[in-house]
A = this chain, B = another copy of it.
Amino acid sequence: METTIRLTGTLDPRDSWTADNDTCTIALSLGVLSTRSTFLLLREAFYGATRFDEFVSRTGLSSPSASARLRELVENGLLQFEPYKDEGQRTRNGYHLTDKGAELLPVLVGLMQWGNRWLSDSGGPAELHHHGCGERVTAELRCAAGHEVDIGELELSPVR
């Protein structure tokens, strides 16, 4: 059985180990993220939304839909529902990104930059910059040695 395949090479039927949706972590991730609404709620969490009302108004979702998806996000550990307190205000509950949720940032940024490039005439409404240095930020593929990796230089191989 082939153990290493190049992207995008010729598909070998023996490479079927790459296509098992029960273990493929792309498929598993999509099982958690599932819908557009989920991504929009995550977007707002990154932008700093914490209150139910903020999520509803800023995503444009209906409140039952937002409620259901927020609950799933909490159940799946991407958001945490915890009390917080603005000074002088009464204590309130709010949704906050967990580490698990925050690590989806490269995916969101990847979607943004792809959309900026291919789905917007103007390059999109917003850009990301590195605070301090000020340079533009992108999601890119790098190896541990620091090389930028092009699609043709990618090898997929089984773990272990």
Q: What is the oligomeric copy number?
A: 2
Contact with B along A44-58 (1 / 0, CB 8 A): 111111100010001
Question: Binding site of A, secondary structure by majority: helix, strand, loop or mixed?
Answer: mixed
Within 8 A of B (CB), among A34-49: 34, 36, 39-40, 43-49
Q: Are B141 and A142 in contact (CB under 8 A)?
A: no
Give the number of chain A interface residues (Cβ < 8 Å): 98
Q: Are B127 and A133 in contact (CB under 8 A)?
A: no
A: residues with CB less than 8 A from B are 5-11, 15-21, 23-34, 36, 39-40, 43-50, 54, 58-60, 77, 97, 100, 102-120, 122-133, 135-145, 147, 149, 151-160
